[in-house]
Amino acid sequence: MYHGDAIPNEQFSFINILKQGVFWFVHLACLVALGVGISWVAVLVCLAFYVIRMFAITGGYHRYFSHRSYDTSRVFQFLLAVLGTTAAQKGPIWWASHHRHHHKHSDTPEDIHSPMVHGIYFAHVGWVLSSQFVDSRPELVKDLTKYPELCLLEKYNLVPPILLAVGMFFFGGWLQVAYPASETSAMQMLVWGFFISTVLLYHGTFCINSFTHLIGKRRFPSTDSSKNNLFLALITLGEGWHNNHHYYPGSERQGFYWWEIDISHYILTVLSWFGLVWNLRAPPARVYAAAGKLT
């Protein structure tokens, strides 16, 4: 992994072939939908697992593991981690370590996510496929590496998505036999419930790295090019309020105002009513004063 002040362009071509193969296989597998067809139940499962796993990324990997913007128990922490790994975006230690590095060096040559510095393709997906960033940066996440169960999950992070894929296959097969009116099948459910849902999830997540630094409006004078974008907030359950987040990353809510739709915040609020999470951190008054608006 590169640890210098900048990322030399000549290293961008050194790609991990296995990672490339698996990544593009997941994309190509979506084409099987042309053969297995479509059903309402398959589409609903696809959308449901997109939303569930997007929350695991936004509410778990991002707001909890990366920024510690709320508190939870060790048991629920592990459940969030397991659910997050089903998104096939590696483990929480890898994810959080690279995200913390991004905030520390946002839109500088050291920032591997920056479309301003390294171009939109590398910011969107190229860095994920590069062999330079296969490993986590444990020195940035010592608060996470002290948990042996998270380290074990990190080591075997491919197990949960594989189990999810297998589960989708058998679920579709069971529906086909038990409820033939569902008009689905094992392969159809595997394709829609896992492969298509996962590809949509990939690019929904990656859009925050790339497009929220290019398209949108700026409320706060952050030191980078982060922008707020309503459309991206909708498809990522609230992550599109990126300028808000970069100005004050310690806040659990990223939609700082009632009209800024932040579905992950709503879910975490409901979870707090049941005592599963607590101490949801909000922007202090000085943040709203900096925006020239009232709460």
Residue pLDDT, tens place only, 17-51: 777 888 999 999 999 999 999 999 999 999 999 99
Give long-range contacts, CB 8 A cutoff, 24+ apart: 270-278: 272/70, 276/72, 276/73, 276/76, 277/70, 277/71, 277/72, 277/76, 278/70, 278/71, 278/72
Average pLDDT, the chain: 91
Confidence tier at 95 by pLDDT (50, 70, 90) = very high
What is the CA 20 to chain-centroid distance, rounded?
A: 19
- Summarize the confidence of residues 9-15 as an average pLDDT: 44
First to last CA, the chain: 43
Nearest to 54 by CA among 282, 196, 271, 263: 263
User: What's the pLDDT score for residue 16?
Assistant: 66
Please give the Cα distance from 77 to 221 (Å, whole number). Answer: 33
**Hey, what amino acid is at 123?**
A
| Residue 130 β-bridge partners | 15
> In the numeric block, which tokens belong to residue 3?
């640890």
Host H or E run for residue 278: strand 277-278
**What b/e readout covers 112-142, taking b as 16+ CB neighbours within 10 angstroms?**
bbbbbbbebebbbbbbbbbebbeebbeebbe
User: What's the pLDDT score for residue 20?
Assistant: 81
Confidence tier at 12 by pLDDT (50, 70, 90) = very low
**Hey, what amino acid is at 145?**
T
Helix (H/G/I), strand (E/B), else coil: 72: strand
Cβ contact 105:111 at 8 Å: yes
**So where are the chain's domains?**
9-221
Q: What is the pLDDT of residues 157-195, one digit of tens each?
A: 999 999 999 999 999 999 999 999 999 999 999 999 999
Top pLDDT among 293 and 182 is at 182
- Summarize the confidence of residues 147-155 as an average pLDDT: 97
Cβ contact 214:115 at 8 Å: yes
User: What's the pLDDT score for residue 3?
Assistant: 40
Please give the Cα distance from 39 to 21 (Å, whole number). Answer: 29
Nearest to 109 by CA among 40, 19, 11, 32: 11
Tokens 């579905």 belong to which residue?
A: 263
Cβ contact 109:123 at 8 Å: no
Host H or E run for residue 44: helix 40-55
**With 0-12 CB in 10 A as exposed, 13-18 as middle and 19+ as buried, what is 276?**
middle
User: What's the pLDDT score for residue 1?
Assistant: 37
> What is the DSSP-derived secondary structure letter of residue 228?
B
User: What's the pLDDT score for residue 178?
Assistant: 96
Please give the Cα distance from 71 to 289 (Å, whole number). Answer: 26
Cβ contact 219:228 at 8 Å: yes
Q: What is the pLDDT of residues 222-252, one digit of tens each?
A: 888 899 999 999 999 999 999 999 999 999 9
Cβ contact 74:185 at 8 Å: no
Q: What is the pLDDT of residues 253-274, one digit of tens each?
A: 999 999 999 999 999 999 999 9
